[in-house]
Chains A and B, each alone.
Chain A
Amino acid sequence: MEIKVYRNLMEVNADWAGRTRQLARQHGVKMLNLIGSPGAGKTRLLEAMVGALGTRFRFTVLEGDVETIRDAERLHKLGIPVSQLITGGSCHLSAQMVHAAYKELPLAELDLVIVENVGNLMCPAAFDIGEDAKVAVLSVTEGEDKPVKYPLLFQEAKAVVITKTDLLPHISFDMPACLDCIRQVNAKIPVFQLSAHSGAGMSAWIDWVASTAAGT
């Protein structure tokens, strides 16, 4: 006998994400969820954002990693308040894990929470953690076709950051082909090409982050 039961398999995750959003609304805090491969330059991007954002917004970082507190230590050295979430093997941050850390933050003193998700282009895309925007971080050393190979992330994201553009003269990365791949899965998404190393392209990205933090 077949019994029809329509139930969302992400409902528990969605419930935790909802609790985080409720807290965020109460305190007027926005959240970005940075998602990209291991080595895409997510932590380096955050390091480069410190100076520019620090003066405009009060922000903190929730650092997601499978193991170690190395990334948190890197950011801590720069004076950014940072909390480390160690998933202990899990390939993504769940909404429940993020909520546990989020509710301990001094929310009344913050404008923006930036979550650096576990390095992975696939799994974190499927999990809502209560963010205002997912941001796909892709480096020029990874190959142009990643957006069509991992379409869910590029479809869910509200912005794409292409990092390490200072390496372009040395490698055969085809930027127009990459932009075309992004447009195939998300025609209207803003794309920021930048180098956290040289600073090129950072200001446009910072402006986007600032407008997201301001809720505009």
Chain B
Amino acid sequence: MHEFAICEQLVATVLEELARMTPPKRLTCVRIAVGGMQQVVPESMEMAFDVLTQDTPAEGAKLEMRRTPVVLDCRKCGWHGEAKPNLIRCGGCSSGDVQVVSGKELYLESLEVEETPNAECRTQN
């Protein structure tokens, strides 16, 4: 259940980004990228996101997770490519002397927003 801890950071980041937008926007969707090696359960993330965004400007927004592939660089033969599931080995020469260049990341990619019809009223508050 480390999804809750990750989501706390996500919501804090999203609220920070929303606070910067002038005039204020309504958030409809949050897109995140999750590396293939990160064991993050989408349902747990969605549940945590819904709970943590209650009574915030992000409430009601949808959360979309994009899985990014595990990509390796082989130090032995120079091969560069996507790893097979649960196998951190070179796809060319099968060497284990590889560097994981992506697959462990967790980042916010984009926000989908709409203009708020009553933006002026909200800015005056």
> Interface stretch among A47-55, A136-144, A182-190?
A182-190
Contacts between the two chains (Cβ within 8 Å), count: 95
Residues in A whose Cβ lies below 8 Å from that of B9: 9-13
A1-49: which residues lie under 8 A (CB-CB) from chain B?
1-13
Query: What are 16 contact pairs spanning A and B, CB under 8 A?
Result: A3-B112, A4-B109, A4-B110, A5-B109, A6-B109, A7-B17, A9-B13, A13-B9, A92-B2, A123-B1, A126-B6, A151-B86, A152-B37, A155-B104, A156-B104, A187-B98
**Does B52 touch A at the CB level, under 8 Å?**
no
- Residue contact B95 to A2, C-beta cutoff 8 Å: no
- Residue contact B86 to A5, C-beta cutoff 8 Å: no
Residues in B whose Cβ lies below 8 Å from that of A4: 109-110
Q: Which of A5, A122, A152 has the most CB of B within 10 A?
A: A5
A residues near B (Cβ < 8 Å) are 1-13, 90-92, 94, 122-123, 126-127, 148, 150-152, 155-156, 183-188
Tell me whether A187 and B110 are in contact in the complex, defined as CB-CB below 8 angstroms, given that A9-B6, A122-B39, A152-B38 are known contacts.
no
The 5 closest A-B pairs by CB, nearest first: A187-B96, A123-B2, A9-B106, A148-B86, A7-B108
- Residue contact A9 to B108, C-beta cutoff 8 Å: yes
Tell me whether A187 and B86 are in contact in the complex, defined as CB-CB below 8 angstroms, given that A3-B110, A5-B110, A9-B9 are known contacts.
no
Residues in A whose Cβ lies below 8 Å from that of B38: 126, 152
Tell me whether A5 and B2 are in contact in the complex, defined as CB-CB below 8 angstroms, given that A152-B39, A186-B88 are known contacts.
no
How many angstroms between the C-alpha atoms of A4 and B96 in the bound complex? 36
Tell me whether A122 and B97 are in contact in the complex, defined as CB-CB below 8 angstroms, given that A5-B110, A151-B88, A187-B89 are known contacts.
no
- Residue contact A6 to B2, C-beta cutoff 8 Å: no
Give the distance to chain B from A124, nearest Cβ to Cβ, in Å: 8
**B107 is contacted by which of A1, A8, A155 (Cβ under 8 Å)?**
A8
B6-22: which residues lie under 8 A (CB-CB) from chain A?
6, 9-10, 12-13, 17
Give per-residue flags for B61-101: 1 if the beta carbon is below 8 A from chain A beta carbons, else 0. Answer: 00000000000000000000000001111000001111010
**Does B48 touch A at the CB level, under 8 Å?**
no
Residues in A whose Cβ lies below 8 Å from that of B111: 2-3, 5
**Does B5 touch A at the CB level, under 8 Å?**
yes
Residues in A whose Cβ lies below 8 Å from that of B104: 152, 155-156
How many angstroms between the C-alpha atoms of A13 and B106 in the bound complex? 12
Residue on A nearest B4 in the bound complex, by CB: A90
Residues in A whose Cβ lies below 8 Å from that of B25: 1
Residues in A whose Cβ lies below 8 Å from that of B47: none
How many angstroms between the C-alpha atoms of A55 and B1 in the bound complex? 39
Residues in A whose Cβ lies below 8 Å from that of B109: 4-6
Residue on B nearest A1 in the bound complex, by CB: B113
Tell me whether A92 and B39 are in contact in the complex, defined as CB-CB below 8 angstroms, given that A3-B110, A12-B12, A187-B96 are known contacts.
no
- Residue contact B1 to A91, C-beta cutoff 8 Å: yes
Residue on B nearest A154 in the bound complex, by CB: B88
